[in-house]
Chains A and B, each alone.
Chain A
Amino acid sequence: MLEISGLKVSYGAVQAVHGIDLTLAPGESLALLGANGAGKTSSVEAIAGLLPTAGGRVVFDGADITGKPASHIVRRGLALVPQWRELFPAFTVEETLLAASSAPRGRPPLPLDHVYDLFPILGQRRLQLAGSLSGGEQQMLAIGRALVTNPKIMLLDEPSAGLAVGIVRSLVGIVQRICQAGVGILLVEQNLEIAEAVATRCVVLSTGRAVWTGRMDDAAGRAAIQEAYFG
């Protein structure tokens, strides 16, 4: 479904990602692990079209989407919830979701009520400005905005960053529900616990290279993660 082979990303002379491979089908969940600066964010942003790729191929739904603009990729059903959320501070919650649902696309959008069902708090705040929401609510809105585009696969970049433990727990539950509903989840995380709760498989990155790929509960993976984090 989503097949990535030999993905490379560079910033000018600096190569951030040195060729990683992974596959992901709808309903599946995969965690991309690694310490800061390992190239996780660069990888997902390149997949979603926000960063240019320096090599490799991204095939989605049978079509080569390497180097296509982000807007094109979203329309095909591959949505990214970016690390910094990238919301529109002066938009209300409802406007934000409308902006995503009324953008031109090939697939019908999900009704906004879907999002409000999943995140009742957003329903209550629908006329509040996105900039005035709490961090957790902003994260929910970012997920909601991606969800409205009716994705087949959703990329989540560190959804837990800067959030309180309780909120992270409820987010994890919702991501699990989204996954069960048949959406493929690619989760970028530093926090191993969250990754374990969401994903069944994982890819461990270290300085831009995949150093281990396998099941989340594999002990060998643990060692690789330790190594990747603390050197």
Chain B
Amino acid sequence: MHQFGRLCGAALLAGALGFGAAPAEAQAPGVTKDEITIGALGALTGATSFMGGPGRDGLQLGIEQINAAGGINGRKIKLVYEHAFTPAESVAAAKKLVESDKVFALILSSGSTGAAAAANYVRETGVPTYNLFGATPIIRTPFAKNVFHGAMPDAPTSAQALVDRVYQAKPDAKKIGLLVGTYSFPQSNKAAILPILEARGVKPVIEEFDQDSRDFTSQLISMARQRVDAVIVLGSFSEAGFAYKQAPEKGLANAVWVLDGSAVNDAIVPIIGERDPKNVWGYSNMPAFPAQDHPEAVKFRQAWIAKYGTPPQGRPNSYDMVGYGGAFILAKAIEAAGENLTWDGLIGAWSTMKGAKPSDLGGADVIFPETFSETDHQGNRALGRATIKGGLWQTVGQ
């Protein structure tokens, strides 16, 4: 597979050269004297449109700020955002952006399998690609020099953070329950977390649930029966919220709850129905939460409201923030690639970028600084320690 990808890449490169496309020295696709076209894809309708929609809004907001500040080396950024949900749609959208719209770089702001299918394609084409939300390992393996990952850490990093949160809250925890969704990303996180627990000699109580489950009676009763000290929830905020809420009624009263990435979302608070729930922990892949009273978050929120108006419940969410921050990271990489833009140039500059953050280009630092190297394209590994206070998720150190 790996070799095949390279072969294909080479073939395509050769094909591109054969067709008389500009060689490496000349202007890359999507770049004109005063504009750079960036493509992005994510779900605008369907089950994960809560990621794709905010992703688009965040990117757009970031790009407008960059353009308002004069753009990059005199060029404005133009965003073309395409809807894509399933793998088939994602490949179609990626092909359209790369082959028809001739974008200079591609942003993946869709969920795991869609992003993975698109990543599979971009490995062959070599277009510089920035993966915002995809957590699944098949996006990261095999390693591709043109694919970069942003605020969303890889599964081992986040799995480690989850286990850390358990022992930070309850150092003597013995029995750990794993409440895992049967769908894509919880399953990949489960695969990452099991070896870590095993290394610690902990044999977890594993219970699974289907996507959008609302009733956790059986899982919770099983955990209560086995008297778990802590529950790690791998699932979305709605699932985690209902599970937490139902726990006392099923006899699971004093456990520590550690929630995975997408469950760490303010929309969980009305589900739980308490403004200061006890023992709920999580990690954050950003220095502050969208609604947190944190100077950078406030700056971001004000900008968001100025552009999009009064937000509905749950917006702007962390996908807005990651999208926004991601726009700056990509812009920073393009800036570092210099005036004469080529894919190789961008990839080279990106691969050596250290500590890039939005404020470098005048944005709000709503994501952790990102650092890349030739062999490691995971931009962010920092994860904050988060809990719910006053009805909001708050970062309370690392």
- Is any CB of A less than 8 Å from a CB of B in the complex? no
On B, residues with C-beta under 8 Å from A are: none
On A, residues with C-beta under 8 Å from B are: none
